[in-house]
Every structure is written in C-alpha cells, then in structure tokens.
Structure 1
Amino acid sequence: MQPSDLYKKKEYNIGYIAGVFDLFHIGHLNLLRKVKERCDHLIVGVLTDELVFHFKNITPFIPQDERQAIIQAIKYVDRTELVTMDNIDKLKAWELYQFDCLFSGDDWKNEPSWNQDKDRLNQLGSNIEFLPYTKGTSSTQIRKLIQNSI
C-alpha cells in the first residue's frame, strides 16, 4: 500500500462477507484483505457449526466461537457476527447490517439465486461483488490431507 492510498475514498462504506472460515488459511486472508481494500468498515459473518452441518453435512474442525475469535483478531475485520438460520438470507443480513456491498467468492457468480439477490439489493442501494478465490489452497484440500493422514 502506498502512503497516498491511506487518503483515497473507498468505494463502499460498509462491506459484508460471510463464510465458514474453518482451517483458516492464506485464501481466507487474501479474501478478507481484498474486501477491506474496497470498504471502510468490514463486517464478517461466521457461519455457526449448526448451519455448516445443515448446508455441507460436515462439522467444522474448529468450533464456531474459535473461528469467530480468529476472524475478529484479523486487522482487516472491524466486526464479526455469527450467521444462523435467522440471518443467512442476504436481505435479512442487509436489514441487520445495512451494508453497501455484500462480497462473495466468484464460485457463486452465475448462480440464479445470487443474481436475483443482487437485483433486490441493488433496489435497496446495495450491491454484490464477486472476488476470485486464491488458487491452490482451500479448506476442502486441507481437510482431505488431514483425513488421509489419519
């Protein structure tokens, strides 16, 4: 970062991103850094263990309270919130946090439901932006390595 970057107005005031953030790795850090570069205030939603099991049928290695503490300790993060069934919906999250932009990995970019949510958020003056994942490292890859070494 250049000294002049400190004085540049960022595109968004409040940004929001949600994820599991299990087995925290460089891809997670890169994603949070890229999001923070776009907004002044970053809220990160951390999915509860129950929600992860509901959607992925797996239990995270790291419990939700520990994952939330790890995310909160990162200098790019201004606030964390646990994501439950009550606030998983993007419009409900917008009602709670009033974010200017919801950020996500680009693996959701062409999902019809996300396009509908983008249209609905745009009507509220908010946006969705998709960022590329870091190639070569993922929680799924780490999980497989751990399971294969046991």
Structure 2
Amino acid sequence: MKQYKTGYTTGVFDLFHIGHLNILKKAKEHCDYLIVGVSTDELVMSYKNKKPVIPLEERIAIVGGIKYVDRVVQQTNRDKFSAWEQLRFDVMFVGDDWKGHQLFNEVERNFNHVGVDIVYFPYTKGVSSTLVKQKITL
C-alpha cells in the first residue's frame, strides 16, 4: 500500500520532457490516485508573460495519456488551497526548485492546518521547456 491515497501536482507541461515524466512517475510511486493540474494559457500568461507553445487541450491530452496519471484538471489559478478544497488530496508533489519560494511557504502553512503534506522532489537538472525552446532556435 502506498503512503498516500490521493496526490496532486501541477504544471504547464509545455513541450513535455523527461523532467515532467520524472515528477509524474515519482508522484505516482507515493500515491494510489494522482490528479494533475495543467495550467491554462491564461494562467501562464498572467505569471510568465508568455503563451505556451502547445495548446491547452493538447497538453491535457498528453498528460492524460501518461500511465501514472489518473485524472487531469485545468489549473485556472495558483491557489493550491482552493484546489485542495475542490479535490481533497492528501499530498501535493512539487519540484524542489519551489522549496522556500514565498508561494509555497504560504501553501505549506495552509496545508499544515488541514493535514495535507507537501513532498518536494529533486528538480531534473539540465532540462526545462525554456531550454528546449532555446535549443530549437539555435
């Protein structure tokens, strides 16, 4: 039996790469049921000021086609506590590049009050959608 019943993670998942697969695989190793929030184009524009290369519907289809993923939802805002109120997961999985970030310090405090854990996984070094885009334009 796995440590958690329901897990949750989020991302843009643009130009899907091994780092994306790593976090989904590691998350599923810790929970029976994995929900993945895929950021909408509007949300990405609001905080990255750029539109994803791959359209939302296709990113949802890609993530949903991964064997480690049980359910895909649209992430329309960055409010993780609101997501918990709707989805009632036991744990959230996040890349350790977010550890100590103001956004996740607040999330940790809020989740602590309702018994939700946050598990940080090592960030896959040397790969990101930004790096993939840079290599394509070289």
TM over 0.5, shorter chain: yes
Structure with bigger gyration radius:
1
Q: Distance in 2 between matches of 1:90 and 1:113?
A: 9
TM-score (norm 1): 0.88
Aligned partner of 1:127 among 87, 112, 117 = 117
* 1:43-66 deviation digits (Å, cap 9, x = unpaired): 000000111111101111100000
1:35-74 residue pairs with structure 2 within 5 A? 35-74=27-66
For the residues of structure 2 that align with 1:80 and 1:108, how far apart are their CA atoms? 22
Q: Which residue of 23, 26, 31 maps to 2:15?
A: 23
Shift of residue 68 of structure 1? 0.3
Q: Which of the numbers 91, 104, 107 marks the counterpart of 2:81? A: 91
Calculate the TM-score normalised by the size of structure 2.
0.96
Which stretches of structure 1, 4 residues or more, deviate above 6 A after TM superposition? none
SS at match of 2:9: strand
Give the RMSD, CA atoms, in angstroms. 1.0
Which residue identity does 1:145 align to in structure 2? K
**Offset at residue 116 of structure 1 (A):** 2.4
- Take 2:102 and 2:59, find their aligned partners in 1: how far apart are those partners? 30
For structure 2, the residue ranges without an aligned partner over 5 or more in a row are none
Deviation of 1:92 (Å):
0.2
Distance 1:13 1:42 in 2: 9
